[in-house]
Chain A
Amino acid sequence: MTENLTSVLDFLPQLWEGIQVTLILTLAGALGAMIIALVLGLSMTSNHAWLRIPARIIVEFFRGTSLLVQLFWLFYVLPLLGVELDPMSCGIGALALNYGAYSAEVVRSSILTVARGQWEAAIALSLSPARRMIRIIFPQAWALMIPSLATLLIQLLKGTAVVSFITLQDLTDKINQLRMSTNDTFFSFTVGLIIYFVIAWILQESMNLLERRATARLGRTRPNSRTERRLARRLARGEGGRHDAETAGTDPNGAGGPGSSGGPTGGPHGAGRGVSP
């Protein structure tokens, strides 16, 4: 065990290089996927068939063929057609195309889910179509699409592991090197999986933050947020009555005290302010 720890410490700079490659692929892939998703997703909501149908075909094509096929196509076939890409661009390109197609579907359905009245109100105010999309529809659709995009972002992170097949030295490749140098499969892969897990967790939390900001900008709270669930639990414990909750807040364990008094009073206070003017 101690030998393993020292060899990991020796290996740390290399591991960090691998993590960097994985992170660059994830973030650049996500950026590319988002651009593709916006273009294709918006095209798919268009009224013009000449925009909608090609976008639909492209999306179904990249969703239907596997990520690995696309990656190998970019890596092995494009050079034969005279386009030389370095492995990094191949990886980013394949990830962006594949997950962009999935995200386009999310963008499309979120835009169509925005309440009908919002569209009608924007038309009634005679906003131009571009303004209607940018100022009214998209901000609401954005808040709706973030949870699904977060799931896809985690999928994309996991998808980056395949780039080790096209000679890129990402985290997966480095883990394999660590396995060969320590000769301890269980140890090295556990370390690697935990690193992936932590990156996924950080990405998930930052997407939650993004969602909170997007919904707050609309003057709403995030559905089923952590604070909301905490409040619901507290109300369930205090059997609903606000008096009960407040008197109960003072006598149980001291650690819960400040938090529990902050939670419920935030609600009625805000509501009271809303009513008075």
Chain B
Amino acid sequence: MIWNWEFAAEALPLLLRGFGNTLIATVAGTVIAAILGLVIAVAIRGLPRSVNWIVRLLQAFIRNTPLVVQLLFIYYLFAGIPGLVDVPALVIGIIVIGVHYATYMSESYRAGIDAVPQGQREAAIALSLPPVRTFRDVILPQALRATIPSLGNYAVAMFKDTPFLFAISVIELVTTAQQFGAAKFAYTEAFTLAGLIFLAASYPTSLLIQRLERRLATY
């Protein structure tokens, strides 16, 4: 009576279709966050002090305020601008999630760049490499090695935050589960399956990242 296999079998294909959007949001969000995070980290290091506090304040502001509120903010903001009304909610969600996680990832990049031994910088100066080449060919490759596992962890965290897209009515996994549950009054099956799908996807990934972390560990 509590668990109905018929409902479960009916819900599963729908849920997996919703899961497609979850995956799209995660992958696209991760790409945006990984690139923008690096840009923020480099900007904070490279810009003069008089300007970089603005970037840092903005970064702290985005990092310390709820993703849900940011999603709603941008969603309603776009709805009020004539040219942007037709932007799909999924695209807005991807942008907001990407920017939100970029502020986290920029911290990992910063830590990775700081962890490169000072001797590497000094050696590059001794070889009179120009600053841009020093950064691109000496510092960054070593910094990335230390950063990649934590970027992976943030990607998993982002994956678990994609249900927040429910707020702006993107049809992803949890929204599908909620709609199915409401239509058939089969909340038990829908939400339990949704949870299991999340667990089945995120747990193996985090194990993989742990292995990657051990393999890439240098110091």
Contact = CB atoms under 8 A, between A and B. Distances in A.
Nearest to B62: A193
A185 B2 contact: no
Interface in B183-202: 187-188, 191-192, 194-196, 198-199, 202
A193 B174 contact: no
Contact of B164 (A68, A154, A197, A200): A68
B53 interface: no
Interface string A60-87: 1100111111101100110011000000
Given A69-B195, A72-B178, A189-B73, A64 B66 contact: no
B193 to A, nearest CB: 10
Given A77-B187, A172-B72, A65 B199 contact: yes
Contacts of A201: 64
Nearest to A189: B73
Q: How large is the interface on B (under 10, 10 to 19, 20 to 34, 35 or more residues)?
A: 35 or more
B163 A69 contact: yes
A81 B2 CA distance: 7
A179 interface: yes
A258 B64 CA distance: 35
Interface residues of A, number: 38
Interface in A164-202: 164-165, 172, 175-176, 179, 185-186, 189, 192-193, 196-197, 200-201
Given A61-B199, A69-B194, A162 B69 contact: no
B198 A65 contact: yes
Contacts of A192: 69
Contact of B191 (A67, A77, A162, A200): A77
Nearest to B61: A197
Contacts of A73: 191-192, 195
B187 A162 contact: no
B69 A175 contact: yes
A156 to B, nearest CB: 11
Nearest to A60: B203
Given A76-B187, A77-B187, A77-B188, A65 B195 contact: yes
Contacts of A161: 66-69
A66 B160 contact: yes
B69 A69 contact: no
Interface in B61-83: 61, 64-70, 72-73, 76-77, 79-80
B80 A196 contact: no
Contacts of A65: 160, 195-196, 198-199
Contact of B198 (A66, A157, A179): A66
The 8 A-B residue pairs with the shortest CB-CB distance, nearest first, are A161-B66, A68-B163, A76-B187, A189-B73, A161-B68, A200-B64, A65-B195, A64-B199
Interface of B: 2, 61, 64-70, 72-73, 76-77, 79-80, 160-164, 166-167, 174, 177-178, 181, 187-188, 191-192, 194-196, 198-199, 202-203, 206
Given A69-B163, A73-B191, A196-B64, 20 more contacts: A64-B199, A64-B202, A66-B161, A69-B198, A72-B174, A72-B191, A76-B187, A77-B187, A81-B188, A154-B64, A158-B64, A158-B65, A158-B66, A162-B68, A172-B66, A172-B68, A179-B76, A185-B77, A185-B80, A200-B64
19 contacts: A64-B202, A64-B203, A65-B195, A65-B199, A68-B164, A73-B195, A76-B187, A76-B191, A158-B66, A159-B66, A161-B67, A161-B68, A162-B167, A165-B166, A176-B72, A185-B80, A186-B77, A189-B72, A189-B77
